[in-house]
A and B are shown apart, each in its own frame.
Chain A
């Protein structure tokens, strides 16, 4: 009724900055397409192999990125220690499967024990994450933002110390129980390990989706993410919900840890720092706080990195991090809300 009385305000001048940004985006996208096209024509087999390799890493990034995004979504904290939690997961997996259970080759028993390791590592990492939250972050929930962030950086160092003592200062090589070799056609080769990663990651992601969207606890998580105080008034146990979120995030990092240890097979105490940063970039790319965004971002970053490292006309591996962080910076500057995220305004 009254709504018809308002007139739509037409901007008199065109916002030059927005136009510039749009064309800059088009130019960058066009450049990427040309680059991919040239590579595809020049070396198709390498193109697909690099893509598959990138997809493989991308799923791990997605799993880690989910931990960042869940925690950020609920308490607006960048959990710096998350990457190192992933590193501890990889170490725990190697320790349990190889050292304790002595599985070094691909047998049926090995596969069963791999599942046991997976569950145990998820529980381990979830437990560590919940402990971190309980010991440190919970007390700082109402503190100025700088405080929990610095605490998380400190926690990251403490976890790295544990990793240093556990793994040793030099990288450690683990035997894998996944079958060696690859399959393919026409020079396009895919490792069997990619299948294993898909077989583990996809169900885990579906399970997560189900937990968040269709369970009572998931509903509580969404409520707390939206407004802690209102959720508390509605009878949601906020502390327990936040702990549960950390548990899930940790379990996902644990899954990624097991997969990394089995597929890549090399662990180092500072592994989590690099992987964590790349995974965080993925979370931001997808729109931090957005679950599907984290998965999309992880896959995209993985594939971009795979192409960059593996293609004949790329910057190659020595510039790998620079490429990823340049994406992070460009994104922060031009589209801080990410691909699927919603722009936020500052709360006063």
Chain B
């Protein structure tokens, strides 16, 4: 919140705040921490290493994409990992020596056989390819009710990683190297400098930039016609379609835009871990992303970012590190990382039971989620006709005949 005395235009508030936080973190890791004493350095290396910050940013990018699908449009997607995987493999194909019989180099981060294209171009290609797949996955599922939709996306989330896993022999063609995955992926190249494995600070800046782009897209869309159409669909699909919202196009757009963010996250992740491995892309990633969105507050960008940062940190660093400290302190031997199942499951259940709108709720979401779908008074009369369709069939000719709807 900017204070009253310094008047900042409303539309500039978040970019300024975001940039300030990002620059502070950058300065902390670039200047401050390397100059601290050895104890403080050890503390940061154990509890807040830059690599886990970078990984958390990848989660933020993907969670923001899922937020568009689940939080804005209200379509439960349980297979979001598919887009992450597709983005990762696009990076694997276009930024490595995988296709060694093709020699193509365009501003790439490495030389030699294979396709080496600039990271920035691959980001665009990965995003576009994922958008295409978002439409392909979305198109057949749009007619479905919400819970069926969840299952179909889950099915795609299972099929696509399996295709990558078994993709070393598709009709004799080696597409994905199978279980070995594609390693190494080219480093990010900026002009003639290449970011090596230890240039984490610069990668951090790049990832923050991608996240900012996704935040920007999300917030702008939210205000516009498309975003309002998404919210209308989320709140009442039937009413929205009656008001002239084109359901098909709007839902497809949600899938496509969400998928773009997933693809950007996938490309970024491939450069972060310097490779793509198929066994990383499993169902628990989809659920973790969902937990991030639900924990932070469905529909609210800042809530989702907070949820993603917190959960990603707990998953990658917090829980194992806490376990090490706890075991050292008390001489126990508890395997803390295995508790993440309990943690994520518990978060989903408890949030749904006690605080459905998340930690940082969006004001609209709070209203909708607090309100029961029908009140008790309404439900007294509801569905009387639905219950006996055979009766309706009998009555239909009578109603049609005299037009008044009264029994003849």
A149 in contact with B147 (CB, 8 Å): yes
CB-CB under 8 A for A329 and B76, given A143-B356, A145-B147, A160-B345:
no
Interface string of A118-157 (1 = CB under 8 A from B): 0000000000000000001001101111111111011111
B368: chain A residues within 8 A (beta carbon)? 144
Q: Nearest Cβ distance between residue A160 and chain B, in whole angstroms?
A: 5
A325 in contact with B158 (CB, 8 Å): yes
Q: State in angstroms the CA–CA spacing of A333 and B142 once bound together.
A: 9
Closest-by-CB residue of A relative to B402 is: A2
Query: B144, B338, B352: which contacts A147 (Cβ < 8 A)?
Result: B352
A2 in contact with B383 (CB, 8 Å): no
A5 in contact with B401 (CB, 8 Å): yes
Q: Is A95 an interface residue (CB 8 A)?
A: no
Q: Is A107 an interface residue (CB 8 A)?
A: no
Tell me the chain A residues, 1-33 only, with Cβ under 8 Å from chain B: 1-3, 5-6
Q: Is B6 an interface residue (CB 8 A)?
A: no
Interface string of B371-384 (1 = CB under 8 A from A): 01110000110111
A325 in contact with B146 (CB, 8 Å): no
Query: B140, B166, B341, B344: which contacts A329 (Cβ < 8 A)?
Result: B140
Q: State in angstroms the CA–CA spacing of A3 and B408 once bound together.
A: 10
Give chain A's interface residues, CB within 8 Å of chain B: 1-3, 5-6, 76-78, 136, 139-140, 142-151, 153-161, 164-165, 169, 226-227, 229-230, 273, 277, 280-281, 284, 318-319, 321-322, 325-326, 328-329, 332-333, 336, 346-348
Query: B151, B283, B386: which contacts A280 (Cβ < 8 A)?
Result: B151
B74: chain A residues within 8 A (beta carbon)? 146
Q: Nearest Cβ distance between residue B407 and chain A, in whole angstroms?
A: 10
Q: State in angstroms the CA–CA spacing of A139 and B154 once bound together.
A: 26
Q: State in angstroms the CA–CA spacing of A226 and B192 once bound together.
A: 69
A153 in contact with B78 (CB, 8 Å): yes
Q: Nearest Cβ distance between residue A75 and chain B, in whole angstroms?
A: 11
Some 27 contacts from A to B, beta carbons below 8 A apart, are A77-B147, A144-B369, A144-B373, A147-B369, A149-B146, A150-B348, A153-B290, A154-B352, A155-B349, A157-B348, A158-B345, A159-B345, A164-B338, A230-B384, A230-B387, A273-B283, A277-B155, A284-B148, A326-B155, A328-B151, A329-B140, A329-B141, A329-B152, A332-B144, A332-B151, A332-B152, A333-B143
Tell me the chain B residues, 342-358 only, with Cβ under 8 Å from chain A: 342, 344-349, 352-353, 356
A332 in contact with B148 (CB, 8 Å): yes
Query: A5, A139, A169, A318: which contacts B338 (Cβ < 8 A)?
Result: A169
B379: chain A residues within 8 A (beta carbon)? 229
B402 in contact with A161 (CB, 8 Å): no
* A-B pairs, 6 with minimum CB distance: A154-B348, A157-B345, A2-B401, A161-B341, A325-B155, A158-B345
Besides A151-B353, A280-B151, A326-B155, 6 other A-B contacts (C-beta < 8 A):
A3-B401, A136-B349, A150-B290, A161-B341, A336-B143, A336-B144
Q: Is B294 an interface residue (CB 8 A)?
A: yes
B contact face: mostly helix, strand, loop, or mixed: helix
Q: State in angstroms the CA–CA spacing of A280 and B387 once bound together.
A: 26
Q: Nearest Cβ distance between residue A157 and chain B, in whole angstroms?
A: 3
B338 in contact with A321 (CB, 8 Å): no
B144: chain A residues within 8 A (beta carbon)? 332, 336
Q: Nearest Cβ distance between residue A344 and chain B, in whole angstroms?
A: 8
B290: chain A residues within 8 A (beta carbon)? 150, 153
Closest-by-CB residue of B relative to A342 is: B389
Q: State in angstroms the CA–CA spacing of A146 and B72 once bound together.
A: 13
A326 in contact with B159 (CB, 8 Å): yes
B353 in contact with A328 (CB, 8 Å): no
Interface string of B318-352 (1 = CB under 8 A from A): 00000000000000000000110110111111001
Q: Nearest Cβ distance between residue A165 and chain B, in whole angstroms?
A: 8
Q: Nearest Cβ distance between residue A293 and chain B, in whole angstroms?
A: 15
B398: chain A residues within 8 A (beta carbon)? 2-3
A328: chain B residues within 8 A (beta carbon)? 151-152, 155
Q: Nearest Cβ distance between residue B322 and chain A, in whole angstroms?
A: 17
Closest-by-CB residue of B relative to A333 is: B140
A6: chain B residues within 8 A (beta carbon)? 397, 400-401
Q: State in angstroms the CA–CA spacing of A124 and B64 once bound together.
A: 41
B346 in contact with A158 (CB, 8 Å): yes
Q: Is B150 an interface residue (CB 8 A)?
A: yes
CB-CB under 8 A for A157 and B287, given A140-B352, A230-B387, A332-B148:
yes
A346 in contact with B145 (CB, 8 Å): yes
CB-CB under 8 A for A157 and B150, given A149-B76, A151-B352:
no
Q: State in angstroms the CA–CA spacing of A142 and B290 once bound together.
A: 22
B41: chain A residues within 8 A (beta carbon)? none
Q: Is B156 an interface residue (CB 8 A)?
A: yes
Q: Is B238 an interface residue (CB 8 A)?
A: yes
A139: chain B residues within 8 A (beta carbon)? 353
A322: chain B residues within 8 A (beta carbon)? 158-159, 162-163, 166
B344 in contact with A157 (CB, 8 Å): yes
CB-CB under 8 A for A329 and B155, given A153-B287, A154-B345, A155-B349:
yes
Q: State in angstroms the CA–CA spacing of A149 and B368 once bound together.
A: 16
- Residue among B158, B345, B347, B379 facing the most chain A CB atoms (10 A cut-off): B345
A78 in contact with B352 (CB, 8 Å): no
CB-CB under 8 A for A318 and B349, given A227-B383, A336-B148, A346-B145:
no
B291: chain A residues within 8 A (beta carbon)? 154
B294: chain A residues within 8 A (beta carbon)? 150
A326: chain B residues within 8 A (beta carbon)? 155, 159
Closest-by-CB residue of A relative to B335 is: A169
Closest-by-CB residue of A relative to B286 is: A153
Q: Nearest Cβ distance between residue A151 and chain B, in whole angstroms?
A: 4
B158: chain A residues within 8 A (beta carbon)? 277, 321-322, 325
B156: chain A residues within 8 A (beta carbon)? 325, 329
B372: chain A residues within 8 A (beta carbon)? 142-143
A78 in contact with B349 (CB, 8 Å): no
Q: State in angstroms the CA–CA spacing of A328 and B383 once bound together.
A: 30
Closest-by-CB residue of B relative to A159 is: B345
Tell me the chain B residues, 281-340 only, with Cβ under 8 Å from chain A: 283, 287, 290-291, 294, 338-339
Q: Nearest Cβ distance between residue A161 and chain B, in whole angstroms?
A: 4
Q: State in angstroms the CA–CA spacing of A267 and B285 once bound together.
A: 23
B382: chain A residues within 8 A (beta carbon)? 229, 347
A333: chain B residues within 8 A (beta carbon)? 140-141, 143
